[in-house]
Amino acid sequence: MTSGSSPSSAPAWAALADLAGRAGVVSLRERFALDPSRSEHFAGGVGDLWVDWSRHPVDDEVMGLLCDLSEQRDVSGFCARMLAGDMVNPTEGRSATHTALRASDGDETLGRMVDLADSIRDGSYTGATGEPVRAVVSLGIGGSYLGPTMAHEALAHLAHPDVTVRFSSSLDGADLTAALDGLDPATTLVVVCSKSFTTPETMVAADAATAWLREGVGDDLSLHLAAATAAPQRADDRGLDPDLVFPLAESVGGRFSLPSAVGLALMVAIGPEAFRAMLAGMHVVDRHLGETPVAANVPVLLGLLDVWHRSFLGATSLAVVPYSHALRRLPDHLQQLMMESLGKRVTADGSPTNGPTGPVVWGAGGTDAQHAFFQLLHQGTDVVPVDLIGVARSVVDPLGTRHEALMANLLAQAEALAFGRTEAETATLDVAPDLVAHRVFPGNRPSTVVLLPELSPSTLGQLVALYEHRTVVQAAVWGVNPFDQWGVEFGKDLATRFGGLLADGDDRQEPSSGLIRRYRKLRDPD
């Protein structure tokens, strides 16, 4: 990114601002009528993915200026420095090395993960009582939970039939209780995923899980506790066997940590070969980012389109709608990835941003979403860009009967959002005159369609990496640091202080003293 300069100082910025005022003059209906090949012209492939951005209010002039903006903001240079392992996180003085994790399979930590996963999957790894370990429970929060959980559900069709893998993240005790329900401590391995090994939510869960294990197998838990952490000494202080401590690099942010040791439980579930295929899929997109010219670079173009909508057209949110039950947790993962990376009000050098940055990211799975919030997308007063994600071949509906209907819904929504329905068209449907206005759809609602040939480890890795790089591109244009999260740290610090106050500490000087007293009264009614 261009440090110390505002994005609006780039010559392309003013030209784009001028075009934005006229973006709605030509409707999407008219754009497609003028260019019948538009869906091929404004689309491209990355790895096995096909991405269609033709249903956005852009033309060659807009896309050309966005590419100029990318050059003027040195987006390619920033991405190249990230891929090379240079320092790109100035507030923490770090590189961002998540892409290095998928560049080769010769990493020592990956090899140790493979050995453990193989031994659990083939039944040769035994616990304190000599029984084979048949369950893995992964404890973590944020990136240590959202990415692995999403990938585990997405690839559930590859799960080992005799090994149970579960995840737990919440401080709410009901979450861990559900994760441990029906499991036997003697045949369970608990993996504690925390970079600092001090994350309150994770360590509270680790203490509770340790107590549960101890009740079942006694005090020797050396074969039942593992860790993924950047603080191995803290894991050692808690008595974990060093052979079961898998290091994380400080330079791998939590929201980018899926290919790291945080993915151990996922590897146990789907197998090392599939895990490596996911890494290889990510690497395909990494190479595309680093080697493809901007005009054909799909993650760069998607990031530039996001900037177009947020900075120039005023969109405040992005909806992500996967038409795949297996990908239903993808919006949760992308919420953290994009909002934690782009939710910044100052640039990397500490100066205020001169305009809005990251949008609110939200969404849900396919047809459920249509019956929940698509009313707002079609006829609401806000224009919300939408990502519609589809899978061409289903692994659970081989005859394609239901799957064809699912994909028909995706295509129908893309068309309805873009083209709408006019008053004249509505009147031909034998609609009562006083209801015509209610049945009109304005259209011109932008959407991107992302198509996967099938949901495999490789294509999932490609999809995740596509969104990672798209996010970094936006940060590079706006000049914000996508690799820190000081807002998260602030809330955690306050939670520690309030924990003491809730334990009947002196709260007389607290702005929240009335609420604290009300909580205590509800907690202890007698």
Q: Is residue 364 part of a domain?
A: yes
Residue type, 125: Y
pLDDT tens profile 343-388: 999 999 999 999 999 999 999 999 999 999 999 999 999 999 999 9
Q: Is residue 88 part of a domain?
A: no
User: Tell me, what DSSP letter sits at residue 340?
Assistant: I
Kind of pairing between the strands at 317-323 and 360-363: parallel
Q: Within a 10 A sphere around the Cβ of 266, how many other Cβ atoms?
A: 30
By three-state DSSP, how is residue 352 classified? strand
Same domain, 68 and 129: no
Token code pair at residue 255:
């929201």
- For the chain, helix (H) and strand (E) counts, in that order, are 22, 13
The Cα-based distances of 242 to 19, 202, 221, 234, 266 in angstroms read: 59, 19, 13, 11, 21
Token code pair at residue 85:
């392992």
Same domain, 388 and 416: yes
Give strand pairing partners of 177: none
Element (H, E) at 50: strand 49-55
Same domain, 431 and 506: no
Element (H, E) at 267: helix 264-270
Query: Residue 129 in contact with residue 186, Cβ under 8 Å?
Result: yes
Token code pair at residue 472:
């970094």
Same domain, 304 and 252: no
How far is residue 371's CA from residue 336's CA, in Å, rounded to a whole number? 25
Please confirm, yes or no, whether 340 is among the known catalytic residues: yes
Which of the following is catalytic: 195, 340, 403, 469? 340
Question: In degrees rounded to 5, what are phi and psi of residue 339?
Answer: -75, -35
Q: Is residue 287 part of a domain?
A: no
Where do we find the tokens 């007389």? 508
Same domain, 237 and 304: no
Q: Within a 10 A sphere around the Cβ of 141, how many other Cβ atoms?
A: 19
The alpha carbon dihedral of 19, 23, 29, 32 has a sign of positive
Same domain, 308 and 434: yes
Helix axes 60-72, 11-20, angle to 10 degrees: 150
Please confirm, yes or no, whether 371 is among the known catalytic residues: yes
User: Residue range 276-299: average pLDDT?
Assistant: 98
Task: Give the domain-ending residue among 277, 307, 324.
Answer: 277
Same domain, 335 and 455: yes
User: Tell me, what DSSP letter sits at residue 310?
Assistant: I
User: Residue range 278-284: average pLDDT?
Assistant: 98
Element (H, E) at 277: helix 272-291
Kind of pairing between the strands at 188-193 and 135-139: parallel
Task: Give the domain-ending residue among 233, 250, 277.
Answer: 277
Query: Residue 40 in contact with residue 430, Cβ under 8 Å?
Result: no
Same domain, 63 and 129: no
Please check the confidence at residue 505 and state whether its pLDDT lies above 70: no
Please check the confidence at residue 435 and state whether its pLDDT lies above 80: yes
Question: In degrees rounded to 5, what are phi and psi of residue 147?
Answer: -65, -55
Sequence-distant (6+) residues with CB within 8 A of 93 are: 87
Q: Is residue 2 part of a domain?
A: no
Please check the confidence at residue 1 and state whether its pLDDT lies above 60: no
Strands, E assignment, 126-251: 135-139, 164-168, 188-193, 225-229, 245-247
User: Residue range 44-61: average pLDDT?
Assistant: 98
Question: In degrees rounded to 5, what are phi and psi of residue 480?
Answer: -95, 160
**Residue 520: predicted pLDDT:** 81
How far is residue 463's CA from residue 155's CA, in Å, rounded to a whole number? 13
Same domain, 367 and 512: no
Give strand pairing partners of 246: 228
Token code pair at residue 332:
């949760």
pLDDT tens profile 155-213: 999 999 999 999 999 999 999 999 999 999 999 999 999 999 999 999 999 999 999 99
How far is residue 455's CA from residue 155's CA, in Å, rounded to a whole number? 8
Q: Is residue 31 part of a domain?
A: yes
End-to-end CA distance of the chain: 59
Residue type, 358: G
How far is residue 226's CA from residue 514's CA, in Å, rounded to a whole number? 43
The Cα-based distances of 155 to 67, 396, 397, 467, 486 in angstroms read: 36, 12, 15, 18, 32
Average the pLDDT over each of 209-223, 265-279, 382-396, 497-511 and give the range with the smallest value. 497-511
Q: What is the CATH number of the domain that holds 184?
A: 3.40.50.10490
**Residue 507: predicted pLDDT:** 63
Please check the confidence at residue 232 and state whether its pLDDT lies above 90: yes
Please check the confidence at residue 399 and state whether its pLDDT lies above 90: no
Please check the confidence at residue 432 and state whether its pLDDT lies above 70: yes
Domain that holds residue 242: 97-277
Where do we find the tokens 């809330």? 491
Name the H helices within 355-485: 366-370, 374-379, 401-419, 423-427, 457-478
By three-state DSSP, how is residue 139 classified? strand
Same domain, 450 and 325: yes
**Residue 496: predicted pLDDT:** 76
Length of the chain in terms of residues written: 526
Q: Is residue 90 part of a domain?
A: no
Over its C-alpha atoms, the chain yields an Rg (Å, rounded) of 25
Same domain, 216 and 154: yes
How far is residue 125's CA from residue 294's CA, in Å, rounded to a whole number? 49
Domain count, the chain: 3
Which of the following is catalytic: 273, 371, 423, 489? 371
Q: Is residue 120 part of a domain?
A: yes
Task: Give the domain-ending residue among 236, 254, 277.
Answer: 277
User: Residue range 246-250: average pLDDT?
Assistant: 97
Q: What's the per-residue H, E or C state across 334-383?
A: HHHHHHHHHCCCECCCCCECCCCCCCEEEECCHHHHHCCCHHHHHHCCCC
Please confirm, yes or no, whether 492 is among the known catalytic residues: yes
How far is residue 32's CA from residue 54's CA, in Å, rounded to a whole number? 9
Average pLDDT, the chain: 95
**Residue 87: predicted pLDDT:** 98
Residue type, 341: S
Same domain, 256 and 356: no
Q: Is residue 320 part of a domain?
A: yes
Burial status of residue 11 (CB atoms within 10 A of its CB: 0-12, 13-18, 19 or more):
exposed
